[in-house]
Amino acid sequence: MIYNTTMTQKTNGDSGQGARYGSKVRALRRREGMVQAQLAEKLGISPSYLNLIESNRRPLTAPLLVRLVQLFQVDLGTFTRDEDERLDADLLEAFSDPLFEAHGLTGPEVREFAAQSPALARAVLGLYRAWQDAHRSAETLASRLFDGERERGVGVTSAPPEEVNDLLQAHMNHFPELEEGAERVWKEGGLFQDDLYQGLVRYLERFHRVEVRVARWDTERQVLRRYDPERRVMTLSELLPTRSRSFQLAHLVGLLTQRATLDGLTQDPRLTTHDARQLAGIALANYFAGAVLMPYEPFLAAARAERYDIDVVGRRFRVGFEQVCHRFTTLRRPGAEGVPFHMIRIDMAGNISKRFSASGIRFARFSGACPRWNVFAAFLTPGLIRLQLSKMSDGETFFCIARTIQKDSGGYHAQHPVQAIGLGCRVDHARELVYSDGVDLSRLEMATPVGVTCRLCERTDCEQRALPSLRHPLRIDPNVRGVTLYNPAPR
């Protein structure tokens, strides 16, 4: 096992817990078609005082907050800061692009814009994403034409994975309806852990008249799963290990039994395209499959008893390393929460294909992630757990683990792609993890600084900086060289 210490940075938010409530109150009032005088009368305050609240010049008191929740029949979570902080961070990251460098924007200006006009801020983010997609498509087209490849079908692409990630994050990666649906399947099917695969085969045959077949690789090349709804036949590749076969069967059970729930969740306005809704449906059916393979209460009990030992818990439930890590992030049931984890999955090129944060750590969305994260170093030691102690510049501290994973299907000639999984939590939860044994969590001064992205990082002593910081003007002195070209040299 390899241990190294690393520190992570987060963008500072604006002060004042009530600083964002004004825009939320205004949005709720306009949703109901009220003018300020009408809402003020219902709240028992003057219109001028309500105007000050909506302008973020007066705090929203607890009694008024309760009245608003009752009046508009919304959940108290409507006023949560988490989504606001993500909007701040995403907007700051977008405006850190060199595209905006000549405009001299500052962090306070960006945060004020997001506070006063959150809907407009999200629209700006949407435009920025569209510009990025168009820019990448143009570069791809130019590259292919330069190489003499006259390929068709190169055009502007949308970003459905980003929208799906937004949906999962908004729900804190926990979907009670799907958890309940998985528990019903266990009861109806009389499932038990030691015979789960055969139990799912019997369940599909008995309740849905679906026949499950296992096909030879030479008859279904490049296909690991195929479902024929007309013939009601589910075909699985013989190359799939048992745990993967169970997952694919549970995925199909989700599509067959949770259709109304899946359709309702995929109508979320965050999903703006048909492709995004289709991708979200797959992701949610996968969530359901994970809930079937790892039922909430037994899984949480095992995680706590084994102190979140991924290998032990994985063997108990007959699932893989990534499946366990992903399931850890979903344990957010009120009154029965697990450790609030963040999770990231990357490939060797640094592409982020999966991310979620319940710990509060910030992931880059529009630019490359900091290479100091231990999830990148995991590629240097395949199959070994790497530990990381990280402290953000605002004092937030995290304990993280990382390890590579490799696909185990496809036969001898398959490429078997290698990816890395990063999993972590705030340091005050670290003692609940077996991986913290022997780690001195009190010596935070030993942590090595890590940032979100180079453009947002304030540190001027990083030897791995690849871009200039938005926080410091770029100063090039041909006579003096710092640790990198973009780090200002001491004067």
Residue 139, pLDDT score: 53
User: Of the ranges 111-115, 258-262, 483-487, which is most confident?
Assistant: 258-262
Residue with tokens 């937030």: 396
The torsion angles phi and psi of 425, rounded to 5 degrees, stand at -150, 170
Highest mean pLDDT pick, 90-94, 118-122, 433-437? 433-437
Q: Using 50, 70 and 90 to split pLDDT, how confident is the model at 77?
A: low
Answer with the residue of higher pLDDT: 135 or 344: 344
The two structure tokens encoding residue 317: 């439930």
What is the reported pLDDT for 337? 95
Identify the pLDDT of residue 148: 43
Give start and end residues of each alpha helix (H) in 21-81.
Answer: 21-31, 36-43, 47-54, 62-72
Specify the pTM: 0.71
Tell me: the pLDDT tens digits for 352-366? 888 898 888 877 766
The residue with greater pLDDT, 196 or 367, is 196
Radius of gyration of the chain (CA): 25
Element (H, E) at 132: helix 118-146
Residue whose C-alpha is closest to residue 204's, from 253, 153, 138, 143: 253
Q: What are phi and psi of 206, to 5 degrees?
A: -75, -45
Res. 9 pLDDT band, cuts 50 70 90: very low
The confidence band for 12, taking pLDDT boundaries of 50, 70 and 90, is very low
Burial of 480 (0-12, 13-18, 19+ CB in 10 A): exposed
Measured in degrees and rounded to the nearest 5, phi and psi for residue 402 equal -150, 150
Q: Is the pLDDT of residue 6 over 60?
A: no
Mean pLDDT of 30-54: 87
Residue 265 to residue 400: CA distance in whole angstroms: 31
204: confidence class by pLDDT, cuts 50, 70, 90: very high
Looking at the DSSP bridge assignments, the partners of residue 2 are 386
What is the rounded distance in angstroms from the CA atom of residue 284 to the CA atom of residue 204? 19
Residue 15 has pLDDT above 60, yes or no: no
* Banded pLDDT at 73 (limits 50, 70, 90): confident
Note the pLDDT of residue 489: 59
Query: Measured over all CA atoms, what is the biggest interatomic distance in the chain, rounded to whole angstroms?
Result: 79
Domain 2-10+338-450 has CATH 3.30.160: no
> Taking phi first (over 0 means left), then psi (-120 to 50 degrees means alpha), and beta for anything else, what does residue 410 get?
left
Q: Which of 278, 317, 277, 286 is nearest to 299 (CA)?
A: 317
**Residue range 343-348: mean pLDDT, rounded:** 92
- Domain 176-293 in CATH 1.20.1250.20? The answer is no
Residue 114 has pLDDT above 90, yes or no: no
- Is a pLDDT exceeding 60 seen at residue 107? yes
**Numbered ranges of CATH 1.10.10.2910 in the chain:** 176-293
**What are the phi and psi torsion angles at 332 (to 5°)?**
-120, 25
pLDDT in tens, 213-251: 999 887 877 788 999 999 999 999 998 989 999 999 999
Say what the pLDDT of residue 79 is.
61
Percent of the chain clearing pLDDT 70 (strictly above): 81
β-partners of residue 390 are: 398
- Altogether, the residues listed in the chain come to a count of 491
pLDDT value, residue 202: 97
Task: Please check whether residue 249 is in contact with residue 225, taking contact to mean a CB–CB distance below 8 angstroms.
Answer: no
Residues of the chain with CATH 1.10.260.40: 21-80
- CATH 3.30.450 domain position(s) in the chain: 2-10+338-450
Residue 12, C-beta contacts closer than 8 angstroms, at least 6 positions apart: 107, 393, 394
Lowest mean pLDDT, pick from 48-62, 232-246, 476-490: 476-490
Rounded Cα–Cα distance for residues 93 and 188 (Å): 48
Mean pLDDT for all residues in the chain: 82
- The predicted structure's pLDDT at residue 143: 44
User: What pLDDT sits at residue 28?
Assistant: 80
Distances (CA, A) of 433 to 295, 315, 456, 487: 20, 17, 31, 37
How many other CB atoms sit within 10 Å of the CB of residue 291? 24
CATH fold of the domain at 21-80: 434 Repressor (Amino-terminal Domain) (1.10.260)
